[in-house]
Structure 1
Amino acid sequence: MNVRIFDTTLRDGEQTIGVSLSPDQKLAIAKKLDELGVDAIEAGFPVISEGELKAVKMITSEGLSCEIAGLTRTIKKDIDAAIDAGLNYIHTFIATSDIHLEHKLKMTRDQALEKAIEAVEYGKSRGLQVEFSAEDASRTEREFLKKVFGEVAKAGADRVNIPDTVGYSTPEYMAEITRDTVEVTKLPVSVHCHNDFGLAVANSLAGIHAGASCAHVTINGIGERAGNASLEELSMALKCLPYDQKYETNIKSELIYETSRFISKTVGIIVQPNKAIVGANAFGHESGIHTHGVLSNPLTYEPISPELVGRKRWLQVGKHAGVHGMNAMLAEYGVKPTDEQSKQILEKVKVLGDQGKQITDVELLSIASDVLGEKDLKRIVQLSGFSVSTGIGTMPYAFVKLNIDGQDHIGTDYGVGPVDAALNAIQKITGKISEIRIKDYGLASISGGSSALCEVTVKVEDALGNKVSAKSVGEDIVTTSVKAVIDAINRIMLKKMLQEKQVN
């Protein structure tokens, strides 16, 4: 069974607090979603503003391969605005739960039903494809919900959607009302689930197993309050989990991580590290038992291959580390200690771990170089020049000069602060050379007073998904930050160089 993926990142996702997208940003996201393989994009709510109308027009004019829908209330002016935006597909809704009818709409059930029928009939009279949603369906009296869906089906709706508007349903109940809706309408049914109780994906799957043929989702599960069902979790669950029947989607799974990162950067919402599928830790391992198992057979501690979603496995050392995982990490940098040397390195790692410290890749290599008697780690990147300027009324500006494999490269950029400006300038250089990006940045004070020492921890990533972490301590935040980033870049470029040698 092929499940239709209706992506509402640009509409429900934009309703996330703190997110507001320009028309150009919405178009860029729409292109990414189309490349990913979604079947439909909810481009926006055309009637709410001139900018929203412009954005939807830009998307409908782009000639994307997926369907483009727009949200409307059951009001003629909303539907007319959707038509003005170039849409031929509307997603129209009205609330049907008693709490919404009484306190928000000030309507009776019969009045709401009449509005629903009128909107569907008007949309069809204008030649539109119409998908109807009964807002707050999961808290709507069950017999009335069946009546509403049955009547809009008679009025000509092409699809109906069951919204779990406040994430109030359980998977069992979502399955029940989905079966009701399929039976009474004989139409394609969608489910639109929110994550207030962390059940959005589970409820969406339950609806699909009960006969729904489409799920409304967002990238990274963004959306108002606790968000929506996550596209990456739902699509991979359908693709990989064992069910009585086979489910398929048109999602190109290898593009999931790239799309997730693009949306995260564009909307300004960081993905939590332990987020399924796309979180930084989703394919990371530290425990010695786990790393040993994964190195022997990845399926021991990974339900799917990271490459399936465009990612790479990565290992971390700490007090839970084992010798197999540690040696695998060192091997990525061309370091191959003896058994006795491995034991010494691991003991030092565990001492640091017991002190509550995170051990970065660079620290591991430094420990290894001490034990092996190799004092100088190979450095591909050298910091040749560096300066920042800042002040009241002027935007911080940075100049950075790097020597990479004997060639000088200069980068300049602005930032919200001197650290940001310096890191932006570095990324300008490394982005051209190796597509290296700074993924995480952490700052901590480790002593008090006016001459306090700061500790900067960074994580960088290249286009292949290789990750490296580094730490630096110093008195000046900007200089310490630059040193940490340069250390991390050195390690990731060394890792990449060794990988290319192995391939060739």
Structure 2
Amino acid sequence: MQDIETLKQQNMNLSDKIYIFDTTLRDGEQTPGVALTVDEKIQIATKLNNLGVDKIEVGFPASSQGEIESAKQIKALDLNSTLVGLARSLKRDIDAVLDADLGYVHTFVGTSPLHRDYKLKMSKTEIIDTAVSGIEYAKDHGLTVEFSAEDGTRTERDFLFEVFNQAVSAGADVLDVPDTVGILTPILTHELITDIKDNFKTPISVHFHNDFGLATANTLTAIECGANQAHVTVNGLGERTGNCSLEELVMSLKSAYGVDLGLDTTRLYSLSNLVGRLTGVKMPVSKPIVGDNAFAHESGIHVHGILNNASTYEPMSPEMVGHSRRIVLGKHTGANAIKSKLKEYHIDLNSEQFDKVFAEIKSLGDSGKCVTDDDLIAIAITEISSARETPIVIKGLSISMGANVSPTATVKLEIDGVEKETASTGVGPVDAALNAISDLIHDTIDIDLEEYNLEAITGGTDALAEVFVITSDDEGNKSTGRSTNQDIVMASILAVLDSMNKLLLIKRA
């Protein structure tokens, strides 16, 4: 890959310093269904500061007294990041920013025909007067001013430039170009930002939305054309489909462009997780950089390459963002992946044992199951411990039910060659049968049923029932069990016994 100086000399106009303006606490909180408490905002702001972002937009102070108070509390943390408050180009909004004790205001007014005619119902002259009066008022009160022409990408170019000219004359320190509804494409971004940079010496910022999934690509293009600053949010949160993703932009610049923003990128994954937990917006497993599958590999060909040199199938190391690599087992898994996993857990198998484990992993994968590490350990230990033998075997089952009477299950088990029988009641026949089993095996092994899933595989009254369970023992070992049977109760019992036998063999091994 070419170094940054070579790129600068060729077809890019990269700024010497690129600023990261994070608006998770403002635009990110505008994600539908998201509302952050003061304490939650403080946690996120602290993480952003530790990451090293240049500016943090802490909220929209004019929207509520709570926003003012949260901004004050974040200001009291004495963070290194510059704190910013959003304000419409109105005196009362700017006063709220001042009340919040902030020194930087991000003020805006809509400039597109749609905003002028339908939202603001103002003429072009009134728009300019509003923008200028807001900037002048803020500057008169000692604020650093970033001015946004809202919906700027749908504003007539000559009018956008007129607004920007007037904003600069009024004292704006930064000009922001919002792609408010995410309609830009990279080629249009290139043309627009290049034109703006050719006409204005004031630093240019961009605030791009992700309605067509192009926010990060458009932001990178803007930076290529000389934009000095990018607005981002953690996990790409924001109105509708969100904003340019902080982690995607930062790592693209670092890994693909060779631009070091001076951020501690090893904090990205933990920051993403924190924001996901606090907002309740869970990231898709395929989310770049921070998704669960960002550094997960299953294909045998890929895993073989990864085990020899991770760069064969990873554009960056997981450690760069505080993430971790996962080798996932399934139907695409190759022998190398399984051998690597077994070595990781210090499990030694001979060739015959390994072949059987490998075949079982493949079989489970073909049945649609993603095999966990716990499954692999259980299968391998079972194989080592003559797993074809089953310490616990069902020998008999009867269910009695009546109107207004709790179901009773009578279960007979053979445990290590000794037959035991008992009856138990439950809220249903499955519950009754599992209660009886629990009573019978109590002296042999203590288990907890952590997960129980029932699914009808086929239609009709004779549908096969597939039961999948996860159980754990008192030592923290976990194992899965699966069974398919036309009788739901029997399928449930066999699945639980399958899981129990694996745990028992692990415990004894």
TM-score normalized with structure 2 length: 0.75
Q: Which runs of 4+ in 1 moved over 6 A?
A: none
CA displacement, residues 233-253 of structure 1 (integer Å, 9 cap, x when unaligned): 000000000x4xx42213210
> Are residue 120 (structure 1) and residue 128 (structure 2) matched?
no
What does 1:275-354 correspond to in 2, within 5 Å? Answer: 275-354=287-366
CA displacement, residues 371-427 of structure 1 (integer Å, 9 cap, x when unaligned): 333669xxxxxxxxxxxxxxxxxxxxxxxxxxxxxxxxxxxxxxxxxxxxxxxxxxx
Deviation at 1:174, TM superposition (A): 1.4
Residue aligning to 1:213 = 228
d(CA) in 2 for partners of 1:443 and 1:215? Answer: 47
d(CA) in 2 for partners of 1:352 and 1:96? Answer: 59
Moved more, 183-192 or 272-281: 183-192
Counterpart of 2:249 (choices 222, 234, 237) is 234
The gaps in structure 1 that reach 5 residues or longer are 377-440, 459-467, 492-504
Evaluate the alpha carbon distance shift between residue 350 and residue 114 of structure 1 in structure 2; reply closer, same or farther with a 3 A threshold: same
d(CA) in 2 for partners of 1:294 and 1:93? Answer: 49
Residue aligning to 2:269 = 257
Evaluate the alpha carbon distance shift between residue 148 and residue 339 of structure 1 in structure 2; reply closer, same or farther with a 3 A threshold: farther
d(CA) in 1 for partners of 2:282 and 2:309? Answer: 31
Q: Note if contact 2:55-2:82 (Cα within 8 Å) is conserved in structure 1.
A: yes
The amino acid that maps onto 1:341 is: Q
d(CA) in 1 for partners of 2:199 and 2:470? Answer: 58
What does 1:400-415 correspond to in 2, within 5 Å? Answer: none
d(CA) in 1 for partners of 2:171 and 2:317? Answer: 44
Q: Note if contact 1:135-1:163 (Cα within 8 Å) is conserved in structure 2.
A: yes
Tell me the secondary structure at the aligned position of residue 79 of structure 1.
helix
d(CA) in 1 for partners of 2:237 and 2:105? Answer: 22
Residue aligning to 2:173 = 158
Tell me the secondary structure at the aligned position of residue 358 of structure 1.
coil
Evaluate the alpha carbon distance shift between residue 141 and residue 175 of structure 1 in structure 2; reply closer, same or farther with a 3 A threshold: same
Deviation at 1:338, TM superposition (A): 3.0
Counterpart of 2:454 (choices 445, 466, 491) is 445
Residue aligning to 2:96 = 81
Residue aligning to 1:60 = 75
Residue aligning to 1:71 = 86
d(CA) in 2 for partners of 1:123 and 1:304? Answer: 43
d(CA) in 2 for partners of 1:374 and 1:146? Answer: 79
Residue aligning to 2:119 = 104
d(CA) in 1 for partners of 2:340 and 2:132? Answer: 64
CA displacement, residues 187-228 of structure 1 (integer Å, 9 cap, x when unaligned): 111111111100010000001000101110011111111111
Residue aligning to 2:378 = 366
What does 1:471-490 correspond to in 2, within 5 Å? Answer: 471=480
d(CA) in 1 for partners of 2:229 and 2:478? Answer: 41
Q: Note if contact 1:361-1:469 (Cα within 8 Å) is conserved in structure 2.
A: no
Residue aligning to 2:214 = 199
Tell me the secondary structure at the aligned position of residue 131 of structure 1.
strand
d(CA) in 2 for partners of 1:166 and 1:442? Answer: 43
TM-score normalized with structure 1 length: 0.76
Q: Note if contact 1:361-1:470 (Cα within 8 Å) is conserved in structure 2.
A: no
Moved more, 314-323 or 173-182: 173-182
Evaluate the alpha carbon distance shift between residue 443 and residue 110 of structure 1 in structure 2; reply closer, same or farther with a 3 A threshold: farther
Q: Note if contact 1:360-1:469 (Cα within 8 Å) is conserved in structure 2.
A: no
d(CA) in 1 for partners of 2:284 and 2:53? Answer: 23
Q: Note if contact 1:95-1:101 (Cα within 8 Å) is conserved in structure 2.
A: yes
Deviation at 1:442, TM superposition (A): 7.8
Moved more, 338-347 or 69-78: 338-347
Q: Note if contact 1:253-1:309 (Cα within 8 Å) is conserved in structure 2.
A: yes
The amino acid that maps onto 1:446 is: E
Evaluate the alpha carbon distance shift between residue 209 and residue 443 of structure 1 in structure 2; reply closer, same or farther with a 3 A threshold: farther
Residue aligning to 1:93 = 108
Residue aligning to 1:430 = none
Evaluate the alpha carbon distance shift between residue 123 and residue 471 of structure 1 in structure 2; reply closer, same or farther with a 3 A threshold: farther
Q: Note if contact 2:104-2:143 (Cα within 8 Å) is conserved in structure 1.
A: yes
Tell me the secondary structure at the aligned position of residue 33 of structure 2.
coil
Evaluate the alpha carbon distance shift between residue 456 and residue 164 of structure 1 in structure 2; reply closer, same or farther with a 3 A threshold: farther
Residue aligning to 2:404 = none
Q: Which has the larger radius of gyration?
A: 2
Deviation at 1:447, TM superposition (A): 5.7
Q: Note if contact 2:328-2:370 (Cα within 8 Å) is conserved in structure 1.
A: no
Deviation at 1:282, TM superposition (A): 0.3
Evaluate the alpha carbon distance shift between residue 150 and residue 184 of structure 1 in structure 2; reply closer, same or farther with a 3 A threshold: farther
In percent, how many aligned pairs have the same letter?
45
Counterpart of 1:21 (choices 19, 36, 51) is 36
Tell me the secondary structure at the aligned position of residue 360 of structure 2.
helix
Residue aligning to 2:161 = 146
The gaps in structure 2 that reach 5 residues or longer are 1-15, 389-449, 472-476, 484-488
Q: Note if contact 1:7-1:41 (Cα within 8 Å) is conserved in structure 2.
A: yes
Tell me the secondary structure at the aligned position of residue 383 of structure 2.
helix
Deviation at 1:472, TM superposition (A): 5.5
d(CA) in 2 for partners of 1:234 and 1:56? Answer: 26
d(CA) in 2 for partners of 1:170 and 1:291? Answer: 36
Counterpart of 1:167 (choices 182, 185, 204) is 182
d(CA) in 2 for partners of 1:99 and 1:303? Answer: 42
d(CA) in 2 for partners of 1:214 and 1:347? Answer: 54
> Are residue 266 (structure 1) and residue 278 (structure 2) matched?
yes
Moved more, 182-191 or 297-306: 182-191
d(CA) in 2 for partners of 1:301 and 1:124? Answer: 51
Evaluate the alpha carbon distance shift between residue 153 and residue 325 of structure 1 in structure 2; reply closer, same or farther with a 3 A threshold: same
Evaluate the alpha carbon distance shift between residue 150 and residue 254 of structure 1 in structure 2; reply closer, same or farther with a 3 A threshold: same
Q: Note if contact 1:3-1:248 (Cα within 8 Å) is conserved in structure 2.
A: no
Evaluate the alpha carbon distance shift between residue 268 and residue 442 of structure 1 in structure 2; reply closer, same or farther with a 3 A threshold: farther
> Are residue 180 (structure 1) and residue 195 (structure 2) matched?
yes
The amino acid that maps onto 1:11 is: R
The amino acid that maps onto 1:179 is: T
CA displacement, residues 412-468 of structure 1 (integer Å, 9 cap, x when unaligned): xxxxxxxxxxxxxxxxxxxxxxxxxxxxx986323699xx9864569xxxxxxxxx9
